[in-house]
């Protein structure tokens, strides 16, 4: 790597007042033709380009981003990473991602601050207990580290949780995945962008896609605000805007795009050293390295591309936070924002070929795509390069909505954050 990052490069550059750092990625104009074009410069799209270049030797590729890279859900999520999913297909997919996360900083030479501080899911009623135990058993047999904690163990692992039996929905226990945790979301996009760019991938920002050109059933190219780009393979990783791109190609997807909100508190000294999620008392919280409590709210149940949701959802979330953490009542919300999440009917993603040759979709990650970023990019790159899914994403094809073989993560896996 021409510009390797390390403590030594920091020291060296300090003596030239940091005037000699290179661009992390360039700002090129699009070429006339690429071997593949990725639509969407979020974490998943950049990772796809990175693995296409790295593992499939496709270097003449471009990532087109309508705004600035990492500016969509990559930069708006609550950064939770875990793989304790119920179904084998999901567990396979997310644990593949988790394994990549564990070495990602070193691989990218970019510190994505993957922090394995554990993710705990709480149970508040007897059905929660059954569901979470079911998931824990499945995880264990799938080789995923997940354990069941009783209420006392929950309290011991995260002492600030209100485990009093007298609250409205007492904590009856929970699951813990210790390998799970959080990462620095922006760094993931930037690290992949830098890595992909290093291998020759063009990252083209402010380049909105206007149309997809087909010759019969084969993709021919893509119309953008920066002109027409010829290509035989288009991988769309446009999250909330997937349907918009699909419509350009005359496809409909089983997706609805909805607002999802999150918020942070003012920064404080370390007070919670893990990630705690609760489905029944709908709240999840962690603390960033900067000290902010990072709190995820729910989705609004209507289609919207506004990147803003309703205040009721935020109020409901904080209500749940104060139920579980009454000590946070005098903390203050610093910032609140929304993203647009594309949700599949079975709460599982699509990483798939389509009925149009050369057109691939990676979408439907709903509220929980961040954790899958490296795995999603790797498997989507495989699918694009080989025109065939990898065995780990075979179940996540579009056809499952026709045949009925859904990967339903609503039921026992609860909300797929």
Partner 1 sequence: MFVINCPYCGERDQSEFNSGGEAHIIRPKQPTELSDDEWAEFLFMRKNIKGIQFERWNHTHGCRKWFNVVRDTTNDQIHAVYKMGEKPPKDY
Partner 2 sequence: MSNYRINKTDFVDQTSRISFKFDGKTYFGYKGDTLASALLSNGIHLLGRSFKYHRPRGIMSCGSEEPNAICQINDETELSEPNVRATEIELYEGLEVSAQNCWPSVNFDIGGINNFISPFIPAGFYYKTFMWPKSFWKNIYEPLIRKSAGLGKSPTKPDPEIYDHKHVHCDVLVIGGGISGIMSAKLAAQKNLNTILVDDKNTLGGSTIIQENEDFKINNEISKDWLIKEIKELQKLDNLTIKTRTSIAAFHSYNYLLAKENLTDHLPKDKKNNSIRQRLWKIRAKKVVIAAGSIERPLVFNNNDRPGIFLANSINKYLNFYGVSCGLNNFIFTNNDSAYETAISLFEKGISVNMIDIRKKATSNIVKQAEKLGIKIYWNSTVTNTFGYRKINSIEIMKLSDDGSNVMGDKIKINCDCLGISGGWTPMVHMHTQSGGKLNFRENDQVFLPKDGYPNQISVGSCNGDFELDEIIKNTNRNIKIYLDIKNTDYDNLDISCSKEVEKRNIWLLPNYLPIGKTKSFVDFQNDSTAKDIKLALREGFRSIEHVKRYTTTGMATDQGKLSNMHALGIIAETAGVKMGTLGTTTFRPPFTPLTFGAIVGRNVGRFFDITRKTPMHEWHLDNNAEFENVGQWKRAWFYPKNNEDMHKAVQRESKAARESAGILDASTLGKIDIQGTDASEFLNRVYTNAWSKLAIGKCRYGLMLNEDGMVYDDGVTTRLGENHYLMTTTTGGAANVLSKLEDYLQTEWPELDVYMTSVTDHYATASVCGPNSKKILIKLFPDLKFDDENFPHMSFQKAYLDKIECRIMRISFTGEQSYEININSKYGKSLWEKCIDAGKEFDITPYGTETMHLLRAEKGFIIVGQDTDGTMTPVDLQMDWIVSKKKYDFIGKRSLYRSDTIRDDRKQLVGLLTDDPNEVLEEGAQIVADINKKPIDMLGHVTSSYYSPNLKKSIALAVVRSGKKMKGQKLIVPMENKNINVTVSDFIFLDKENSKLNA
Write each residue from 213 to 242 as x if it is in contact with partner 2 (CB under 8 A), else as -, in one continuous string. Answer: ------------------------------
5 lines the binding site for partner 2 (CB under 8 A): yes
Within residues 116-145, the interface with partner 2 by CB under 8 A covers: 116, 124-127, 129-138, 140-143
The phi and psi torsions of 380 (rounded to 5 degrees) equal -70, -40
Write each residue from 276 to 305 as x if it is in contact with partner 2 (CB under 8 A), else as -, in one continuous string. Answer: -----------x-xxx--------------
Residue 30 or 338: the one with the smaller Cβ distance to partner 1 is 338
Chosen from partner 1, partner 2, none, partner binding at 312 (C-beta under 5 to 8 Å by type)? partner 1
Chosen from partner 1, partner 2, none, partner binding at 303 (C-beta under 5 to 8 Å by type)? partner 1
337 lines the binding site for partner 1 (CB under 8 A): no
Chosen from partner 1, partner 2, none, partner binding at 254 (C-beta under 5 to 8 Å by type)? partner 1
Within residues 335-394, the interface with partner 2 by CB under 8 A covers: 335-337, 345
Q: Which residue matches tokens 């390390």?
A: 6
Chosen from partner 2, partner 1, none, partner binding at 255 (C-beta under 5 to 8 Å by type)? partner 1
**How far is the first Cα of the chain from the last one, in angstroms, to the nearest whole number?**
35
The phi and psi torsions of 228 (rounded to 5 degrees) equal -80, 140
C-alpha to C-alpha distance for 275 and 120, rounded to whole angstroms: 6
CB atoms within 10 A of CB 292: 18
Concatenating the DSSP letter of every residue in 9-75 gives HHHHHHTTTTTTPPPSS--PPPPSB-SEEEE--SHHHHHHHHHHHHHS---SEEEE-SSSTT-SGGG
347-365: string of b/e by CB count within 10 Å (b at 16+)? bbbbbbbbebebbbbbbbb
Which residue from 302, 326, 333, 386 is in contact with partner 1, where contact means CB under 8 A? 302
CB atoms within 10 A of CB 321: 25
Q: With contacts defined by CB under 8 A, how many residues of the chain interact with partner 1?
A: 25
Within residues 229-258, the interface with partner 1 by CB under 8 A covers: 241, 243-244, 247, 252-257
* Residue 368 burial (C-beta neighbours within 10 Å; 0-12, 13-18, 19+): buried
Write each residue from 65 to 84 as x if it is in contact with partner 2 (CB under 8 A), else as -, in one continuous string. Answer: --xxxxx---x---------
* Residue 408 burial (C-beta neighbours within 10 Å; 0-12, 13-18, 19+): middle
* Residue 246 burial (C-beta neighbours within 10 Å; 0-12, 13-18, 19+): buried
312 lines the binding site for partner 1 (CB under 8 A): yes
301 lines the binding site for partner 1 (CB under 8 A): yes
CB of 24 to partner 1, least distance (A): 31
Which residue from 111, 208, 213, 232 is in contact with partner 2, where contact means CB under 8 A? 111
Which residues in this chain contact partner 1 in the complex, by CB under 8 A?
241, 243-244, 247, 252-257, 301-306, 310-312, 342, 345, 401-404
């Amino acid at each position: 790597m021409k510009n390797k990052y390390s403590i030594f490069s920091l020291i060296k550059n300090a003596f030239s007042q940091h005037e000699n750092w290179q661009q992390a990625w360039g700002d090129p104009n699009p070429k006339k033709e690429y071997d593949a074009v990725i639509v969407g410069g979020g974490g998943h799209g950049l990772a796809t380009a990175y693995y296409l270049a790295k593992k499939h030797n496709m270097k003449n590729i471009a990532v087109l981003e309508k705004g600035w890279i990492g500016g969509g859900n990559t930069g708006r999520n609550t950064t939770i990473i875990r793989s304790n999913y119920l179904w084998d297909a999901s567990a396979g997919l997310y644990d593949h991602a988790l394994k990549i996360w564990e070495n990602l900083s070193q691989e990218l030479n970019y510190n994505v601050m993957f922090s394995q501080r554990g993710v705990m899911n709480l149970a508040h009623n007897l059905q929660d207990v059954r569901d979470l135990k079911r998931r824990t058993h499945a995880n264990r047999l799938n080789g995923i580290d997940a354990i069941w904690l009783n209420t006392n163990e929950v309290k011991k692992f995260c002492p600030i949780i209100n485990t009093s039996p007298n609250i409205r929905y007492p904590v009856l226990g929970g699951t813990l995945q210790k390998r799970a945790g959080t990462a620095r979301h922006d760094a993931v996009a930037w690290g992949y962008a830098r890595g992909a760019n290093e291998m020759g991938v063009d990252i083209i920002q402010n380049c909105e896609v206007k149309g997809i050109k087909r010759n019969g059933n084969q993709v021919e190219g893509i119309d953008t605000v920066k002109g027409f780009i010829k290509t035989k393979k288009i991988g769309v990783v446009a999250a909330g805007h997937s349907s918009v791109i699909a419509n350009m190609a005359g496809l409909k997807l089983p997706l609805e795009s909805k607002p999802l909100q999150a918020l942070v508190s003012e920064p404080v000294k370390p007070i919670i050293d893990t990630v705690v999620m609760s489905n029944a008392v709908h709240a999840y919280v962690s603390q960033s390295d900067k000290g902010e409590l990072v709190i995820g709210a729910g989705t609004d149940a209507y289609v919207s591309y506004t990147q803003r949701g309703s205040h009721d959802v935020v109020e409901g979330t904080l209500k749940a936070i104060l139920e579980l953490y009454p000590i946070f009542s005098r903390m203050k919300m610093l910032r609140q924002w929304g993203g647009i999440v594309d949700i599949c009917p079975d709460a599982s993603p699509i990483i798939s070929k389509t009925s149009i040759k050369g057109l691939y979709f990676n979408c439907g990650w709903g509220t929980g795509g961040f954790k899958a970023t490296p795995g999603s990019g790797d498997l989507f790159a495989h699918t694009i390069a080989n025109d065939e899914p990898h065995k780990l994403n075979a179940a996540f094809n579009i056809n499952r909505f026709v045949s009925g073989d859904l990967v339903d993560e609503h039921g026992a896996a609860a909300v797929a954050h």
